[in-house]
Structure 1
């Protein structure tokens, strides 16, 4: 079964972004953090969409 969501640490590892960048994107409304108890989760599909929306390198 494919994972649907990732923790912040897993999101950092998968994306190559820093923890600060992920929290900044959440604060700016570009990513939605979902809570399960104390754990913050990000839907993997949403993380992928966010990465695709970043500008391409010149």
Structure 2
């Protein structure tokens, strides 16, 4: 049986997914609106956290 390893997203991935600038993504990190983690000097995101952020923003605007 094979277990799938979830893929962590990069800053560039999140920029593309949310169609935001790099500085806006880092603003979201600093404000703790979008959770992230580091591996060494690399910033990574759980895809579920990005999806949850998107759902929250959609709900706020409806």
TM-score range normalised by the length of the shorter chain: 0.7 to 0.9
Number of the residue aligned with 1:52: 55
Which runs of at least 4 in structure 1 moved beyond 2 Å after TM superposition?
1-4
Structure 2 unaligned runs (5+)? none
Trace 1:1-58 onto structure 2 (pairs within 5 A): 1=4, 3-54=6-57, 55-56=60-61
Bigger RCO of structures 1 and 2 (CA < 8 A, at least 6 apart): 1
Task: Indicate the SS of the match to 1:6.
Answer: coil
Structure 1 unaligned runs (5+)? none
Q: Which has the larger radius of gyration?
A: 2
Scaled by the length of structure 2, the TM-score of the pair is 0.72
Distance 2:5 2:15 in 1: 18
